[in-house]
Amino acid sequence: MLRRYFIPIILLLAALAAAIYFTGTKTKKHDVRASVPVERFQLSNGLQVVVMPNPRIPVVTHMLVVKAGGADDAYGKSGVAHYMEHLMFAGTKDYPEGTYDRAIARVGGVQNASTNRDYTLFYATVPKEHLRTVMAMEVDRLRNIDFDTAKAARELKIITEERNMRVENNPAAQWVEQLNALTFLNHPYHQPVIGWAEDMATFTAADARAYYEAHYRPGNMILLVAGDVTARDVRRHAQHYYGAMPGGEFATRNWPKEPPIRMARKGEMRDTKVHEPRLLRQYIAPSVGDGAKEDALPLSVFAQYLGGGETSVLYRTLVREQKLASNVSVDYDPMAIGPALFRIVAVPAAGVTLPQLEEALDRALATALVTAPDEGDIANAKTLLKAALIYAQDGLQPLANTMAGLFAIGLDEQYFYSWADNVGQVSAAGALAAGKAVIIPARAVTGYLLPETPAPTAEVPHAQ
């Protein structure tokens, strides 16, 4: 979602306080459970509440998670979850449009929202004394959202402009969007979260209302409050504001599964706006919520070992040694309810064609999959992954966002607490086995992104 947001002095001070805290304790064994306490309870209407007390920083982050995202869009209505997110900012009788934004900004806070495949997140970070105000406004728009035809048309225009800016004017975004649609044969992850333009053109207020009634119910939501609060106070405030919301039924997920992949696929896209050719290779992979879930962590280690920076195997081989690429990286994010993607992106060096680079990539992958990983390289990969856990704790909002994401996909704080230890237990053999199970030529999806030289314009003969 594209909205204005502010960077207040109070949040800069909060970030500084967090940095000082972690710098001052870096020589001690870090007790993640002590530094990131979590308390949980549930209201009678089904709302799950998570509290993360942190008295070191005099602000609070209020996050409301709706456990429905782009993958829950009905067929032919891709993007309606994102549309619904925007309509939440369209205003109500008590808080007309713009009131929410101005109220947060007035106290030096920040607010925004986002929609991904699995869930929708609304957040605000404010000085702690304004938590109740945020709750009051959030509950008001949840209960009194206005599906006015004129408002719906205005928000549709906004998200259409957003798609134009992010996708229609961005060849790389179009390329990835098309490759994802080519990759997932049956799973709803094949459709873009922002929506296909053709589907978006059909949106009405009734479509948003149907999505709201199916998913925006307390039993399908998580309220997470982090910062200078106590669980007792949050319970009292949550009961006062959110407890009055009726429970009600909500749609349960029944996503179709992916059939076995039996055919490698390949696509090429050319555009005059492309200045740098790129190669993308991706494979459907297990996640923490789908497939061989036990492989998610070993595969994360393998991804870091294979293409996680300038010390990785692919970078050393293709960039430094063979000088066929100017850059290569591997991306794998297992934090999903549905299947994940294991992605390799490579940029050819000057004078190297994409077929030449692809051939070299295939050779490098084949070698990596039959060669026992260097124990030092695996240890380095695990160190880098575990460092990400510390970085996630450096600041109130990023940590809250990490924890909200875990709860949204069915995990909890225990996964966060044990993550570094579990990474440390991954063996080189286990990482390699996880990689072999995913990087299979017959299941590869390969994309080329290339510049296209505009055709010369024919000269118009001068009139005699």
Q: How far apart are CA 115 and CA 1, in angstroms?
A: 8
What is the chain's mean pLDDT, rounded?
A: 91
Binned at pLDDT 50, 70 and 90, residue 41 comes out as very high
Query: From edge to edge, which strands make up the β-sheet containing 120-127?
Result: 39-42, 48-53, 221-227, 59-66, 120-127, 110-115
**Is the alpha carbon torsion for 395, 401, 404, 409 positive or negative?**
negative
How is residue 390 written in tokens?
A: 């510390």
Task: Work out the angle between the directed axes of helices 296-307 and 375-392 (0-180°, nearest 10).
Answer: 110
Q: What is the DSSP letter of 193?
A: T
pLDDT surpasses 80 at 24: no
pLDDT surpasses 80 at 30: no
How is residue 265 written in tokens?
A: 């696929």
Higher pLDDT, 394 or 119: 119
How is residue 291 written in tokens?
A: 């497939």
Binned at pLDDT 50, 70 and 90, residue 395 comes out as confident
Per-residue model confidence as pLDDT tens digits over 252-263: 999 999 999 999
- What's the confidence (pLDDT) of residue 33? 86
Question: Cα 209 to the chain's mean position, in Å?
Answer: 25
How is residue 61 written in tokens?
A: 């982050």
Lookup result for tokens 């390329």: 175
Mean pLDDT, residues 409-417 taken together: 95
First to last CA, the chain: 56
| Measured CA angle at 156 (ends 154, 160), to 5 deg | 120
- List Cα–Cα distances, 419 to 21, 33, 394, 411, 414, in angstroms: 22, 12, 17, 12, 8
